Amino acid sequence: MLDQLSVRVRRRSGPHVAHAMWNTLCTNRFCTSRSGGVLEVAHDLSPDELSDDLAELLAVELDDTGVLRGQPEFEAVFAGVVESTMADRDEAWHRFYLNSVRRLEHEDAAFAPVHEHAASLVVGSEIVDLGSCFGFFPLRLSAAGHRVTATDLSGPTMDLLERMSARLHRPVHTIGCNATDVPLPDGAADTVTVLHLIEHLDAGTAGAVLREAVRLARRRVVVAVPFEDIPRACYGHVQRFDVDALRVIADAWRSVGVRAGVHEFHGGWLILDR
């Protein structure tokens, strides 16, 4: 059982039992209740079902139904589901990584087209990825023979990625840092990737991240954003993007001599070439 931020998650066994309590909501895969400021979540997911697509399942079944209260609860439930599914937490995360990598690279994971398209846009052999989170894209590039540095504001997440990359035999160098201030020299990488990061940031901070990405890139910056009618709060999204918004950013970079292009594919893409 995991207890974080007044969230408790456990894996239930046996068939679902109907609940008569007024403060309980059951969905296809979860039973939830909130009492005394504590959110209790029971689930029936198996180790084989652990993957990055858990985020979409939680968004649909627990956020859209009003169970979750913001990004901290979303993240606590996400981690709780993974860690409660197997007796050993590190083994549970290893299974999560194995399943996620397989689905992203060979099956039908929701984010698979984004990663495949991003990989097709990378140039050169040295890559820096900003806002890597679990690091599935850096792991993909490592398997393809690139030298990859993954960065994220969350030090524990980078520690997890470092452990899992070793177990997967896909070496990834990790740095826990703010994406606006990466402790690497100018031109540290051929390509800098910024995949589904800037929608989490206000406009000023997003601009600072792009400036840092351009500083780090010898050749290219690849930026991907989702197109949403309303920013998904449980994911931590605070900005909404569309083609017009990306074109405004591209025009600003062109005005300072950087080649910039915008296109659509499972969301929006901004490509900056030095």
Q: Summarize pLDDT for 172-199 with one digit per residue, the tens.
A: 999 999 999 999 999 999 999 999 999 9
Together in a domain, 80 and 150: no
Residue 52 lies in domain:
2-90
Main-chain dihedrals φ then ψ at residue 135, nearest 5 degrees: 85, 25
Q: What is the residue type of 153? A: L
pLDDT at 111: 95
165 and 83 share one domain: no
- Domain end (from 56, 90, 124): 90
pLDDT-derived band at 21, boundaries 50, 70, 90 = low
Average of per-residue pLDDT across 64-90 = 96
Structural domain count of the chain? 2
CA distances from 192 to 136, 147, 158, 235, 239 (A): 15, 12, 17, 23, 21
Report the pLDDT value the prediction gives residue 24, as an integer from 0 to 100: 87
Place of tokens 């540290």: 188
Single pTM value for the model: 0.94
Does residue 205 lie in a domain region? yes
**HSE value, Cβ hemisphere, 13 Å, CA-based, for 1:** 10
pLDDT at 35: 86
Q: Are residues 80 and 142 in the same domain?
A: no
Whether the CB-CB separation of 249 and 228 falls below 8 Å is answered with no
Amino acid 100: pLDDT: 98
Whether residues 130 and 255 share a domain: the answer is yes
73 in the same domain as 119 = no
Q: Are 49 and 94 in contact (CB under 8 A)?
A: no
In a domain, 132, yes or no: yes
100 domain residue, yes or no: no
- Identify the CA nearest to 53 among candidates 123, 136, 132, 127: 136
Task: Assess whether 80 and 117 both reside in one domain.
Answer: no
Mean predicted confidence (pLDDT) in 203-229: 98
Residue among 203, 189, 174 at smallest CA distance from 123:
189
**Which pLDDT tens digit goes with each residue over 224-236?**
999 999 999 999 9
Residue 71 resides in a domain:
yes
- Are 85 and 127 in the same domain? no
Contacts of 136 (CB under 8 A, 6+ apart): 52, 97, 100, 101, 104, 111, 115
Q: Rounded to an integer, what distance in angstroms lies between the CA atom of residue 177 and that of residue 155?
A: 8
Do 63 and 192 sit in the same domain of this protein? no
Report which of residues 2 and 257 the model is more confident about: 257
66 and 177 housed in the same domain:
no
In a domain, 206, yes or no: yes
Whether the CB-CB separation of 132 and 154 falls below 8 Å is answered with: no
Residue 1 has pLDDT above 50, yes or no: no
Write down the mean pLDDT value for the chain. Answer: 95
- 99 found inside a domain: no
Instruction: Identify whether residues 206 and 256 lie together within a single domain.
Output: yes
Could you tell me the two tokens for 120?
């097709």
pLDDT in tens, 115-169: 999 999 999 999 999 999 999 999 999 999 999 999 999 999 999 999 999 999 9
Q: How confident is the model at residue 22 (pLDDT cuts 50, 70, 90)?
A: low
Mean pLDDT of 66-76: 94
State the burial class of residue 35 (Cβ atoms within 10 Å of its Cβ: 0-12, 13-18, 19+): exposed
Supply the CATH number for residue 139's domain. Answer: 3.40.50.150
